[in-house]
Structure 1
Amino acid sequence: MSRLLPDDGRVAIAVATTGTTPDACCAQARAAVGAGADVIELRADLLAAGPGSPCAAGPTGLADLAGELSAQSGGARVLVTVRTAAEGGGARLDDDAYRTLVRSLAGSLGALDDDARPAALDVESARGWTAGLVAAAHEAGLEAVVSRHDTAATPGDSVMLEGLRAMAGAGADVAKLAVMPRSARDVARLLAVTAQASEELGLPVVTMSMGALGAVSRVSGAVFGSALTFASVDGDPSAPGQLPIEQVRAGLRLLSARLE
């Protein structure tokens, strides 16, 4: 049973924080929970640096904020993410610095009380030492969402599938792939890879085709096998193409009902 995903097997809806301060993140989390989010993603990379900020306090400060969000989540699960600039995020870290931060962050999150500890930690597969970071997350009592984001293109089918297989091989609890389409065919290819991977890998697969062209991928998880989708609240998306949570919920209900 996943600590991150709903127990009933339905497609989860996640909302990511975009706030630059702890207060802003907590307010966004409360709004997301009120709108029906199942998962809150704390985007630690978007927090402002400076005196008194969680970033200035290092992994311990980030863990304390994650614990605060978990305590206020009202049953929604919390995923902690440090998204690098190389994958569209705000953390300008080289691979060594990223690995050091995520490993330390896992330890700080693991030191939290059980009721304050987030459900999962994001691990970017492209930064290297994936299995080691996954192991660090597991040692801390966290699930590992191993992810890859291509903000420029949609790779070939075999590249996408092998990437998801490698995530599973590294011990991921959830394998996540986000790509940028240049045509409708790119979106269709991503959905086909999603269907194959969700049948083959034996773990939850999360995929999305970004931008307006890929919007269909954000509501079709029940059909193609993506276990989680991201939505926005109050018009504040964390990635291109995210739909308002009300529209995502309606789309998921419609497609899920058709499969019953």
Structure 2
Amino acid sequence: MKGKMIGEGTRPLICTPLVGKTKDIILLELVTVLEKEPDIIEWRVDFFTQIADTAAVIEVAKAIRNAAGSIPIIFTIRSIREGGQPISLSDREAIELNAAICKHTDVEYVDCELSNEPENIKYLREVARQNNTKIIASFHNFDYTPGKDILLQKFVDAQEYGLDVGKVAVMPKALDDVLTLLSVTLEARRKVKIPLISMSMGGYGAVTRMIGGVFGSSLTFAVGQNASAPGQVPIDDLRTVLHIVEKSMGR
């Protein structure tokens, strides 16, 4: 029996990242994260020094999956152009690594950046469908917050590609940008049928990690041991805030 999947229930799920560079460090990090009882765990594979070794990646993914019990896993290779770590893989090689995870592990989700070539996205979609793996279609901008129309289109694109979850994460320069992100999330929730994830990063955007669920975001990221993006809140603090928001709104 798997735990809750993205889009289930009314409260946004809490996801914590694993960002270790080696298998031993990752598994030690996982022990700490599991003590915090997150709803979902994301393995940020772009931090892993052996990312070019498919067999090693699969081995660690299986170890994480086994240790996590009923907690779903997200497998993520974040490209440097979208705020990730420098890696030796080409875009196509990263897609193939995602495909290998779909084929050879029981990981529930793989992340696919919408900046990938359409043929790569469609290829991964078919592999994922054949192996009962879900795809999070993601867009990240660590420099600024694009306009409302652009962000809304990213959610629409995720649905039109036939992917399972749409995700947008952007960097605000001012509080107005935070309002843009929340407004787009609310509009997208009304226009698309797939679950959504959205967040504004950094200090200005930290509030979106706490109240994004009110506007339609189905998942929020929190620190278990180490952060994977600026503005992430410690998981215990975030869980308290989500409970207060839920109780205040009578949910």
TM-score normalised by the chain length of structure 1: 0.89
Contact in 2 for aligned 1:84/1:93 (Cα 8 Å): no
Matches within 5 A, 1:155-170: 155-170=146-161
SS of aligned partner of 1:206? strand
CA apart distance, 1:256 = 1.2
Cα distance between partner residues in 2 of 1:192 and 1:7: 22
Cα distance between partner residues in 1 of 2:196 and 2:7: 14
- Any gaps of 5 or more consecutive residues in structure 1? 50-54
Cα distance between partner residues in 2 of 1:251 and 1:149: 25
Matches within 5 A, 1:67-82: 67-82=62-77
* Partner residue of 2:243 out of 238, 250, 253: 253
Which structure 1 residue ranges, 4+ long, deviate > 6 Å from structure 2? none
Match of 1:242 in 2: 232
Cα distance between partner residues in 2 of 1:159 and 1:40: 29
Match of 1:231 in 2: 222
Does residue 11 (structure 1) correspond to residue 12 (structure 2)? The answer is yes
SS of aligned partner of 1:240? coil
Cα distance between partner residues in 1 of 2:131 and 2:234: 33
Matches within 5 A, 1:123-134: 123-129=112-118, 130-134=121-125
Residues 220, 139 of structure 1: alpha-carbon distance in 2 compared, 3 angstrom cutoff: same
TM-score normalised by the chain length of structure 2: 0.92
CA apart distance, 1:140 = 2.5
SS of aligned partner of 1:166? helix
CA apart distance, 1:6 = 7.0
Matches within 5 A, 1:142-221: 142-221=133-212
Residues 128, 203 of structure 1: alpha-carbon distance in 2 compared, 3 angstrom cutoff: same
SS of aligned partner of 1:42? strand
Does residue 64 (structure 1) correspond to residue 55 (structure 2)? The answer is no
Match of 2:155, as an amino acid?
L
Q: How many residues are treated as equivalent by the alignment?
A: 247
CA apart distance, 1:137 = 2.0
Does residue 110 (structure 1) correspond to residue 103 (structure 2)? The answer is yes
Residues 160, 147 of structure 1: alpha-carbon distance in 2 compared, 3 angstrom cutoff: same
Contact in 2 for aligned 1:62/1:105 (Cα 8 Å): no
Cα distance between partner residues in 1 of 2:146 and 2:42: 26
SS of aligned partner of 1:219? helix
Cα distance between partner residues in 1 of 2:137 and 2:229: 18
Spell out, residue by residue over 1:142-185, the C-alpha distance to the aligned partner (whole angstroms, 9 max, x if none).
10001010010100000000111011111111100000000101
Contact in 2 for aligned 1:85/1:93 (Cα 8 Å): no
Contact in 1 for aligned 2:167/2:198 (Cα 8 Å): yes
Cα distance between partner residues in 2 of 1:108 and 1:4: 18
CA apart distance, 1:92 = 3.5
Contact in 2 for aligned 1:103/1:136 (Cα 8 Å): no
Spell out, residue by residue over 1:159-217, the C-alpha distance to the aligned partner (whole angstroms, 9 max, x if none).
00011101111111110000000010100110010011112211110000000110010
Cα distance between partner residues in 2 of 1:46 and 1:244: 20
Cα distance between partner residues in 1 of 2:86 and 2:125: 20
Cα distance between partner residues in 2 of 1:136 and 1:100: 14
Contact in 1 for aligned 2:3/2:72 (Cα 8 Å): no
Match of 1:121 in 2: 110
Match of 1:10, as an amino acid?
R
SS of aligned partner of 2:172? coil
Q: Which has the higher contact order (CA 8 A, sep 6+)?
A: 2
Cα distance between partner residues in 1 of 2:224 and 2:230: 14
CA apart distance, 1:9 = 4.2
Contact in 2 for aligned 1:123/1:134 (Cα 8 Å): no
Superposition RMSD on alpha carbons, in Å? 1.9
Identity across matched positions, percent: 29
Match of 2:92 in 1: 99
